[in-house]
Structure 1
Amino acid sequence: MTTLVERHQAAEHDRRTRRRDTSVDRAEGWRRRAPLLPALIFTIIVTQVPFLFTLWYSTRSWNLLRTDGDVFVGLSNFGDIFADSTFRGAALNSILITLGCVAVAMVLGIFFAVLLDRKFVGRGVARTLLITPYLIMPVAGAMIWSISMLNPTYGLFNWTIGLIGLDPVDWTSTYPVVSILMALVWQWTPFMMLLVLAGLQAQPKDVLEAAAVDGAGWARTFVSITLPQLRRYIELGVLLGAIYVVNTFDQIYLMTAGGPGTASANLPFYIYQRAFLGFDVGQAAAMGVVVVIATIFIAMAALRLIFRSFDTKD
């Protein structure tokens, strides 16, 4: 009988100890999270609350030019935008601009990072000059490309091709998407270069020395050793670049205004046109919801690839 009582008391003591430890751990967890709560609340207010309003507006037929007011239409706005050929063209332009900019900027970023990883006289100056385009505001960069580089009358590009006898080209009218891509690649190449350069400087030197001792050339070493070790940095650059470039607005607004017609309009610019020029708040909100959902899926897929690469042993 005494043994049963002692066992019961011991079990009760263990339960109280576990409960007390759990309470202490929970209190400690809240103490660690408390400093982050204001930032979390602020993020929810400035991001999630507007998105909830956008979801609400996407179910309404609300055009500011109509006097019949605000009418609930369910999901019909989504059906209308997917049947809109201009929306499909803007979505295709968004894909082309994003993929083209990220791919070309990453290739150039790797090239410049490999050059800057070598020691040479003036490397600090060269690094500063190559980083500069990323530090320039997108509006200023777009104006530089539109006026100084691609202007059909006195632009630098037309002056250069004029030296070899070619006729001047109105770049932003004839090749609007290519013009936007050139400005975006110029702006985002330094970002990719910095990420890749960080990866190059973080790789172990003993591995490269062992490859050199084994007689591997520069190209074989780069393809077989350096490039696989840069995979995480390249994936991170592609993810961040895609998230930012897909929301491009400044270059399109200032360089081509989405034209000719809507030939160079992407989804953010077309949403702007429908909301602030066409005053169709319902369909503009539906387009915004589609863009946000598509961006979330793309980001989730890219993050899964990145986390998988971190879980893989080198």
Structure 2
Amino acid sequence: MSTLVDKHNSKQLKQRTERNERGMSKAEGWRRRGPLLPALLFTILVTQLPFLFTIWYSMRSWNLLRPEGDIFVGLSNYLAIFADSTFRGAAFNSILITLGCVFAAMLLGTGFALLLDRSFRGRGLARTLFITPFLIMPVAGATLWSVSMLSPSFGLVNWLLGLVGIPAVEWTSSYPVLSILIALVWQWTPFMMLLVLAGLQAQPKDVLEAAQMDGANWGKTFISVTLPQLRRYIELGVLLGAIYVVNTFDQIYLMTAGGPGTASANLPFYIYQRAFLGFDIGQAAAMGVIVVIATIIIATFALRLIFRSFETED
């Protein structure tokens, strides 16, 4: 009988101990999270609450020119948006500009990183000069390309073309999307170069020496050794670049104003047109919700791929 009582008491003692440990672990967790709560509350206030208001506005037929027509319409704004050919064109331009800029900037950035990873006289100065475009404000960069480089009257590009007998081209009018892509690639190539250069410098040198001793040339070494090492850096650059480039506004506003017509307008610029030029707050809010949701979905899949590559590497 005493053995059963002892077992029962020991079981109760073990349960009390486990409860106390769980309570202590929870208290310790809240003690560690406590200093982060103000930042979390601030983030919720400045990001999530405006987004909830945007969702509410997207379900109303609210035009500032007709304030008496502010009524709840449910999902009608979303249906009208997907039936809008201009919205589909702006979405296509957003995809085209984002993919084109990220791909070209990553390709050029990788090439420049491979060049700057080598030792030569003046390498520090060369790195500083290559980084400079990324440090220039987007407004200044867009003005530089539209006025000093691509202007049909006194732009440097047309001057160089004139040296070989090619007539001047009105770049921003005839090739608006290409003009925007050139300015964006010029701005984002240094960012991609820095990420790839960091990956190159983090690469173990003994692995490269072993590949050379095995008789592998530069091409085989790059494909079999260097490129797998750079995978996580390239994926991170593509993710960050896509998130920022898809929100491009300055270059489009200053270089082409979305024109001719809406030929070069992307989603952020078209949202600006509907909200601040067309005063249609309801449909502009619906477009903003769609862009945010699409960005979150793409970023989530991209982050999973990046984390999976880190886990595989580990």
Secondary structure of residue in 2 paired with 1:69: strand
Partner Cα separation in structure 1 for residue 32 and residue 64 of structure 2: 48
Partner Cα separation in structure 2 for residue 233 and residue 108 of structure 1: 15
What is the Cα deviation at residue 67 of structure 1?
4.1
Bigger drift between 34-43 and 217-226 goes to 34-43
Q: Deviations over 1:76-107 (max 9, x none)?
A: 10110110000000000000000000000000
Aligned counterparts, 1:6-155, within 5 A: 6-155=6-155
Partner Cα separation in structure 1 for residue 141 and residue 38 of structure 2: 35
Aligned counterparts, 1:200-239, within 5 A: 200-239=200-239
In the alignment, structure 1 residue 310 sits paired with structure 2 residue 310: yes
State the AA in 1 paired with 2:224.
Answer: S
The residue number in structure 1 matching 2:269 is 269
Partner Cα separation in structure 1 for residue 76 and residue 140 of structure 2: 40
Aligned counterparts, 1:164-179, within 5 A: 164-179=164-179
Partner Cα separation in structure 1 for residue 87 and residue 137 of structure 2: 28
Q: Deviations over 1:238-258 (max 9, x none)?
A: 001000000000000011000
Partner Cα separation in structure 2 for residue 240 and residue 74 of structure 1: 34
- In structure 1, list runs of 5 or more residues that go unmatched: none
What is the Cα deviation at residue 168 of structure 1?
0.7
The residue number in structure 1 matching 2:299 is 299
Secondary structure of residue in 1 paired with 2:145: helix
Partner Cα separation in structure 2 for residue 267 and residue 177 of structure 1: 14
The residue number in structure 1 matching 2:184 is 184
Bigger drift between 267-276 and 25-34 goes to 25-34
Q: Deviations over 1:56-81 (max 9, x none)?
A: 01110001111423111110101101
Partner Cα separation in structure 1 for residue 132 and residue 41 of structure 2: 35
Q: TM-score, normalised by structure 1?
A: 0.98
- In structure 2, list runs of 5 or more residues that go unmatched: none
Q: Percent identity?
A: 77
Q: TM-score, normalised by structure 2?
A: 0.98
State the AA in 1 paired with 2:218.
Answer: W
In the alignment, structure 1 residue 288 sits paired with structure 2 residue 285: no
Partner Cα separation in structure 2 for residue 239 and residue 5 of structure 1: 63
Partner Cα separation in structure 1 for residue 14 and residue 194 of structure 2: 55
Measured at CA, do residues 67 and 311 of structure 1 come closer, stay the same or move farther in structure 2, by a change above 3 Å? Answer: closer
The residue number in structure 1 matching 2:161 is 161
What is the Cα deviation at residue 8 of structure 1?
1.4
Secondary structure of residue in 1 paired with 2:261: coil
The residue number in structure 1 matching 2:259 is 259
Partner Cα separation in structure 2 for residue 296 and residue 209 of structure 1: 42
Partner Cα separation in structure 1 for residue 313 and residue 188 of structure 2: 30
Q: Deviations over 1:204-259 (max 9, x none)?
A: 11110000001111111001110111111101100010000000000000110000
